[in-house]
Chains A and B, each alone.
Chain A
Amino acid sequence: MMKPSPIAVVLAFAVAVFLLLPLIAVIPVSFTPARFLSMPTGIWSLRHYQALIDNPAWLQATGLSIRIGILSSGIATLLALMFSLGIWMFRPWFSGLLFGFVLLPMVAPPVVSAITLYFFLIGLSKINSIVAYDTWIGVAIAHAVMIAPFAVVMVTVSLSQVDRRIDLAARGFGASVGQRVFKVILPTIRFGVLTAFFLSFVLSWEEIGVTLFITSIDAVTLPRMMWMGLRDNIDPAIAAISVILIVVVISAVLIKTAIAQREKM
């Protein structure tokens, strides 16, 4: 095994610092006492955190993001699971074409997708008020479109690790399509499906590129709320919410790493 030289380690360390720097920078800014975004002066205050609690809009935005995340990742994961199973089990000759088709929202520039979904939802607004522009279900549908390709990739990758012969074995013993799916394939890829659902949820939770175009005042998700506070006069509450989000992510990553480390031992 060739170990990295000291130079390599120093370079990697520099990149690591670069990656963490802006995340660390947010912390002192969130504890300042001034009403506007300012730099730490030695006086600490929790007023920006208080502002998050006092302004019900933040809580509402969080609740909305969770609702949209669950609905959109549920739709995306379910449809992606069915699609990937169909491709894997039946291997139609045009599967390459189908893959290209369903991956389109992932590879198209986000701004093009955003315009597409904007006009799609505007069109729907003319005929109903539930799945429409600036409604939570409308946003969830748009998110489902954007994250479905990622779910397809995740499920397909975990299916590609399944030994095809176990499916052949099930067929040989007379199992129906339903028995093959529920008794043999799904139990072997359940972690992959859970991961796909989790990733889909996170992608919806963070989605802003499309959300920006399809919401205005009613369906304000958490990223949308942050965006509004970031554009002109920066609202220091952004710093507080950012610190909270960073802490959540760090805890999640640390827990996951700790579990992975324990499994290794």
Chain B
Amino acid sequence: MHGGHEAAEITAAGIGKAYGDFHALSDISLTIGSGEFLTLLGPSGSGKSTFLMILAGFEEPTSGKLHKDGLDITRVPAEKRAFGMVFQGYALFPHMTVEQNIAFPLKVQKRSARDIKRRVDDMIARVGLRGHEHKRPAGLSGGQQQRVALARALVFEPSVLLLDEPFSALDKNLRGAMQEEVRRLHQETGTTFVFVTHDQSEALALSTRIGIFNQGRLQQIGTPKDVYERPANRFVAEFLGDVNFLSLSSVKPTDDGAEGLFEGRPMRISAPGQAISAQFAIRPEHMVLFEQAPRDGNMLQATIGDVTYLGAETRFSLKTPGGIDLVLQMPTREVTGAFAPGRSVWAGWPANQGFFL
């Protein structure tokens, strides 16, 4: 390991990008901490890739400022920023060997031949490409190409590494292995990583923080646990996973949350620091099925519709007496014969689960 990586802190203030009347990005303000692994998550067309292109310097924002360690880099072109970048589809140079690809950034920087050789060798060893040095990209598997792209982007010890949907072309098993690899490289190098994806589980698994984009706006930024369990709005809640919405009546604030009625049944919700509203939301896996009414916690009665076996988990669609459809998911090993379609059951959850929207 060569500890030469100087991680950088990047601050975006009011970044916007407009193409004529179309606003691809509006007013994005965030700080990417030094050594952080920040994921930009959103559906396609949400502006996350545009924001990455602005971070990389390939696009200039139409408004706002970008700072790196306090220096204004808004108008600095990509060539002068020297951020590492891993592209979707890898963008390896097809006419160069693995070694030449990885050496390219160092050659551009006019490093000495010895230095180049040492760093390239080291990088090849670190990403496990020994024995493939003289192959061209076309002769490599998808996972190997991915490793070359990572090695090429990290070899010159950039202060920031940008990754644009790097795993989208890989099959599921390989994807898991590469995620491990990226996480390891992040820990080893300590570089600031900015990662763009549309895959929620990937984002939740890898990041120290996640910024969620929709329609050109930053919806929320926070730790995976924050954004999943305390989403700022309905879009974030639904984008990160399934969610059930319960409309409460007679909502009253309490010491640590609120009380209200759902279909006449009292609910007590502990949600310190959250804005109270009549719209309560709970994720399917945060509820558990019971044959009898549980002694404590929140609960509601429901009839089982479909039962879908998913392997480790089983998914139930439920209908409340008031006609509201709900989804519930629980570990398969906890499912008993009593939880069959048509049966009347109880769904319960602790008071500290769920959130207001």
Contacts and interface: CB of A to CB of B under 8 A. Distances in A.
Direct contact of A and B (CB under 8 A): yes
Interface in A81-127: none
20 contacts: A163-B91, A165-B91, A168-B78, A168-B87, A168-B91, A169-B87, A169-B93, A169-B152, A170-B108, A171-B58, A171-B79, A172-B56, A172-B79, A172-B81, A173-B104, A173-B108, A173-B152, A174-B80, A175-B104, A179-B108
A184 interface: yes
A179 B107 CA distance: 10
A175 B91 CA distance: 15
Nearest to A190: B95
Interface string B94-108: 110000000011001
Interface string A159-193: 00001011011111111100100011001100000
Interface in B72-96: 77-85, 87-89, 91-95
Interface residues of B, number: 26
8 residue pairs, one from A and one from B, having the closest CB atoms: A165-B91, A173-B105, A187-B95, A172-B85, A169-B91, A165-B87, A166-B91, A171-B78
Nearest to A176: B79
A165 B58 CA distance: 11
B93 A174 contact: no
Contacts of B108: 170, 173-176, 179
Contacts of B94: 166, 188
B84 A172 contact: yes
A187 B92 CA distance: 13
A173 B58 contact: no
Interface size band for A:
10 to 19
B195 interface: no
Nearest to B106: A173
Contacts of B88: 165
Nearest to B78: A171
A13 to B, nearest CB: 39
Interface string A62-93: 00000000000000000000000000000000
B212 to A, nearest CB: 25
Contacts of A163: 89, 91
B156 interface: yes
B198 to A, nearest CB: 18
Contacts of A169: 85, 87, 91, 93, 152
B109 interface: yes
